[in-house]
Amino acid sequence: MAFGAGVLILRRAEAQGAALNLYSARHYNTDEALYGNFSDLSGVKINRIDAEPDPLVERLKAEGDKSPCDVFITTDAGRIERARQMGLLQPVTSEVLTKSVPPNLRDPDNNWFGFSKRARVIMYNKEKVSAADAPKTYEDLADPKWKGKLLIRASGHIYNQSLVGSLLAANGPEKTEAWAKGVAANLARAPRGGDTDQIKGVAAGEAEICVSNTYYYVGLMRSKKPEDREVAAKVGVVFPNQANRGTHVNISGGAVARYAPNKAVAVKFLEYLVSPQAQKYFAEGNSEYPVVPGVALSAELQSLGTFKEDQLNARVFAQNNAEALKIMDRAGWK
């Protein structure tokens, strides 16, 4: 990886007061060390603005060509793709990025790049459901056998919009709408809370199966609280659709803002995010999967086993978000 040369370039820039203006919609305390490491390596000061994704996008739009933002990072391809569609990002030419990030995890026109990934999986209560009987596909979630036994967060959350966006690409609108109606009919209760709440509900016997991103589960495994680790121990994990297209995988992604005043530094920062040290940090710091093949996983991620991932480009399911939400709403999945 050519990151070493990039660091030298940034060290030369430091003499001129190099800085990076970062708009971040990632709210993980563990990212502090990641950003600090970049500053230590490069000498570049990071000026960071943290906010929710939609307000950050609106801020970028309102600032226009006066925006100080160099890099925009957020969770979920749907969010960063919205920024691209609004003309708020710019394409990047970087051999480091295009060689490091697999094609399905970056924008085909290089406007944004995934730097960590998370699988959206099915989980089950080990006391109530055997591994053999657990759902094997996302499509299985609509099977009437699970009526009153399923937990999943609200349709308005973008993680579900992206999941359903991938189902739209795989199965088409009619089958996806029928599936969404089946999911709505199988809910144990009206959706509430985040992914961790769904896992805890299954562990407590409120339902038998749920859907969650992997890092929430690994977070419970790694928790210092015995009760959290107990929850994880009661729940099994299924990577769906291993016999066909593979498990839906989403990203945290980064992009250079359209009017970035410090573009060269911004590109080096994105390259840093796919460097071995940063990729290892994603795996160990926030229990996410690295995007770069061959980077060692944490012991907890390794314990989940290997899996086949859906190779659908993230921009495709991201562009399906709006239609996915309409389908879920019509199906009664609120």
Query: Side chain identity at 165, as an amino acid letter?
Result: G
Dihedral angle over CA of 123, 127, 132, 134, nearest 10: -30
Q: How far is CA 156 from the centre of its chain?
A: 16
Which pair of structure tokens corresponds to residue 41?
């390596």
Which pair of structure tokens corresponds to residue 235?
């729940």
What whole-number distance in Å separates Cα of residue 43 and Cα of residue 19? Answer: 9
Query: Side chain identity at 120, as an amino acid letter?
Result: R
- Ordered DSSP codes for 236-253: EEE-S-TTTT-B-EEEEE
Query: Side chain identity at 260, as an amino acid letter?
Result: A
User: Any binding-site annotation on 215?
Assistant: yes
Which pair of structure tokens corresponds to residue 309?
């991932």
Residue 134 CB coordination number (10 Å) = 19
User: Any binding-site annotation on 157?
Assistant: no
| Residue located via tokens 């929710």 | 52
Annotated binding site for Fe cation: 27, 215-216
Annotated binding site: 27, 215-216
